[in-house]
Amino acid sequence: MVEFEVPEIDYDRYSNRQLAVVPLAVLAVALAVLIGAYVLTGSPVALGIDFTGGSELTVQTSMSASEVRSSFDTQPVSVQAISSESNQYVVTFDADSGDVSDFRDQAQSSGMTVLGSGTTPASFGSQSQELALIGLAIAFGGMSLLAFALFRTFVPSIAIIISAFSDIVIPLAVLSLLQVKISLGTIAALLMLIGYSVDSDILLNNHILRRRGEFYESTYAAMQTGVSMTVTSMSAMAVMAVMATFFGIDLMSQIGFVLFLGLAADLMNTYMLNLSLLRWYKFEGVAR
């Protein structure tokens, strides 16, 4: 029978520096990926039509993907098959390549059945970009203030903020590497991640700072609860990501994927980065 037990890690064997260097290195790589993508393409991540504007058709046809591609007067940006249904494709067009009504007509006159369509004007897309950034900034700022309000000391609060930051940056870097086009759903997932990922950090800080008891004992208690929490959430998100991808429900698969990655990053950040900062604070920082 499968057992799910949180392993007890022998933290004594590692110095704070050793513990912190791994998550910090991963964060640095993630930031480098995003900056590199920004320099190369002008955007840290590939933007979907929610942010660039453009049109999208869902069509049913017996044609192949390349036949679908060549059926339009203007070249589509992408033609993507839906895995759970044979003969269905999602076709995406740039904002400046024409009007969605024309694409519908072209698809129909080539014998495809148009099951769905959508269009977002470019102006709307660039506003959404701006708003999404504002939203992320407000959410992150609010979370940071709350972290300070809860613990009222610098190191433990900043530990939460750094790991939350890293939890957002790492999934974004993965999306950037995989060339996944982000949508409004991704933004929702990132905001959700801010809320989700600090749970285990708050739990750890709370056990170590606000409870009596020896450091490693508190750490292990917090880990038992925290890892169970995160792994449970990850299982829900993995299921959502895999199933929704299979069914071709992009929005849900993206939310699931981003949250899964973010929570995985959070396991590392909480129990390596946050923990090493707290241990330093508890044994050396306070003594100063």
Query: Which of positions 195-214 make contact with another protein (CB under 8 A)?
Result: 195-196, 198-199, 202-203, 206, 210-211
Query: Which of positions 108-127 make contact with another protein (CB under 8 A)?
Result: 114-121, 123-124, 127
Candidates 130, 153, 154, 283: give the one binding another protein (CB under 8 A). Answer: 130
- Which SS3 state, helix, strand or coil, does residue 119 take? strand
**Which among 81, 92, 114, 65 has a CA at the least distance from the CA of 183?**
92
Task: Show the binding pattern over residues 5-44: x = contacts another protein (CB under 8 A), - = does not.
Answer: x---------------------------------------
We find the least distance from the C-beta atom of residue 201 to another protein, in angstroms, to be 9
Chain position carrying tokens 């530990």: 159
265 binds another protein (CB under 8 A): no
The DSSP symbol for 181 reads: P
Task: Name the phi and psi angles at 185, rounded to 5.
Answer: -60, -35
DSSP H stretches of helix in 211-274: 215-247, 250-268
We find the least distance from the C-beta atom of residue 120 to another protein, in angstroms, to be 5
228 binds another protein (CB under 8 A): yes
Chain position carrying tokens 């880990």: 223
14-22, 68-76, 181-189, 268-276 -> range binding another protein (CB under 8 A): 181-189
Pick between residue 257 and residue 280 the one whose CB is nearest to another protein: 257
278 binds another protein (CB under 8 A): no
| CB of 57 closer than 8 Å to CB of 107 | yes
Amino acid at 161: I
17-25, 27-35, 222-230, 270-278 -> range binding another protein (CB under 8 A): 222-230
Query: Which of positions 55-84 make contact with another protein (CB under 8 A)?
Result: 58, 84
39-47, 170-178, 188-196, 264-272 -> range binding another protein (CB under 8 A): 188-196
The DSSP symbol for 96 reads: G
Q: How many CB atoms lie within 10 A of CB 83?
A: 11
7-15, 31-39, 40-48, 228-236 -> range binding another protein (CB under 8 A): 228-236
31-39, 70-78, 131-139, 170-178 -> range binding another protein (CB under 8 A): 131-139
Q: For residues 43-69, b (16+ Cβ closer than 10 Å) or e, as one string?
A: ebbbbbbbbbbbbbbbbbbebeeeebe
We find the least distance from the C-beta atom of residue 220 to another protein, in angstroms, to be 12
Candidates 33, 95, 143, 277: give the one binding another protein (CB under 8 A). Answer: 143
Task: Show the binding pattern over residues 149-178: x = contacts another protein (CB under 8 A), - = does not.
Answer: -x----------------------------
Contacts 24+ apart (CB under 8 A), 15-21: 16/276, 16/277, 16/279, 16/280, 17/276, 19/272, 19/273, 19/275, 19/276, 19/279, 20/272, 20/273, 20/276, 20/277
Phi/psi region, residue 247 (left: phi>0; alpha: psi -120 to 50; beta: rest), is alpha
State the number of binding residues for another protein (CB under 8 A). 77
106 binds another protein (CB under 8 A): no
We find the least distance from the C-beta atom of residue 112 to another protein, in angstroms, to be 12
